[in-house]
Amino acid sequence: MATLKTKIKLYLEANSKNYEDERDNIFMQDDGSGPYIKTWSVSGLDKPNDSQLTSYETAGNTLETNNNVRLTRKLAYGNIGNQLDEIYKDIDAWKARIKKIKDDNPKE
């Protein structure tokens, strides 16, 4: 299930806004029954209702899955300096290692 933050981010982007620019204008809270938007003061854009946020569930799941894949790949790739050294010493071995990481961690 996509997080509220991810769905808000997608809602903002769909309405030509950027989450990083607007995050101080949005206050989310969780009182134990699930997260919700407590305050919304994004200029020129109404607070999304539950139906609007729900419409971003699938896209949010894909975004979060792909972000996790990117992080997993990044950690598996290792330090760029070590990769460059590996390329210099044996580019074919580096290509095979990177291909395996990508094959083991496909994006949606």
Is residue 7 exposed (0-12), middle (13-18) or buried (19+ Cβ within 10 Å)? buried
pTM above 0.85, yes or no: no
**Beta-carbon-side half-sphere exposure of residue 76 (alpha carbons within 13 Å):** 16
Average pLDDT score, the chain: 96
Q: What would the mean pLDDT of 91-102 be, rounded to a whole number? A: 96
Q: What percent of the chain has pLDDT over 90?
A: 99
Indicate if the pLDDT at residue 108 is higher than 90.
no
pLDDT (0 to 100) of residue 72: 97
pLDDT (0 to 100) of residue 66: 97
Q: What would the mean pLDDT of 47-57 be, rounded to a whole number? A: 97
Query: Is 24:82 a contact under the CB 8 Å cutoff?
Result: no
Which domains, ranges and CATH numbers included, belong to the chain?
A: 4-77 (3.30.56)
Query: Is 97:82 a contact under the CB 8 Å cutoff?
Result: no
